[in-house]
Amino acid sequence: MIIGIGIDILEKKRITNINNKYGYFFEKKILNNIEINQCKNSKKKITNIAKLFSLKEAFIKSLGTGFIKNFSFKKIKIKHTKLGKPIIKKKNIKIYTSISHEKNIIIALAITKINN
């Protein structure tokens, strides 16, 4: 049973401005250590941070809960398949994801389904 669909769209400039102001503190707030390491070695660091941020937002929207107590961006772990597809794994739920970007706009989609 699908419990929710979440979509997020953002301008990369928003993440650029926040990252310029807060730098590593911002990254530590929204990314886990694996995601930080993946982004820091990339020529497209800000784009990658923005894509992860947007997908995490979409996932939270698909749950319909908002950020409840003791739940944070860092607890949402995004991995990628060998072909680059983003994956979020949580117990007893299946999350279908997609991210796309064009120059300065990033869009992310998450569909959350309870496993029966």
What is the structure's pLDDT at 107? Answer: 98
Question: Is 102 among the annotated ligand-binding positions?
Answer: no
pLDDT band at 70 (very low <50, low <70, confident <90, very high): low
Answer yes or no: CATH 3.90.470.20 is held by domain 2-114. Answer: yes
Q: How far is CA 35 from the centre of its chain?
A: 10
Give 46-58 pLDDT, tens digit per residue.
Answer: 999 999 999 999 9
Pairing status of strand 93-102 against strand 105-114: antiparallel
Question: Is 11 among the annotated ligand-binding positions?
Answer: no
What is the structure's pLDDT at 98? Answer: 96
Give 74-104 pLDDT, tens digit per residue.
Answer: 889 999 899 989 999 888 899 999 999 999 9
Mean pLDDT of the chain: 91
Q: What residue ranges do the domains of the chain occupy? A: 2-114
Cβ atoms of 107 and 7 within 8 Å: the answer is: yes
Count CB atoms within 10 A of the CB of residue 15.
23
Cβ atoms of 9 and 57 within 8 Å: the answer is: no
DSSP code for 41: T
Q: How far is CA 41 from the centre of its chain?
A: 18
What is the structure's pLDDT at 69? Answer: 64
What is the structure's pLDDT at 61? Answer: 92
What is the structure's pLDDT at 32? Answer: 92
DSSP code for 65: -
Give 18-33 pLDDT, tens digit per residue.
Answer: 999 998 899 999 999 9
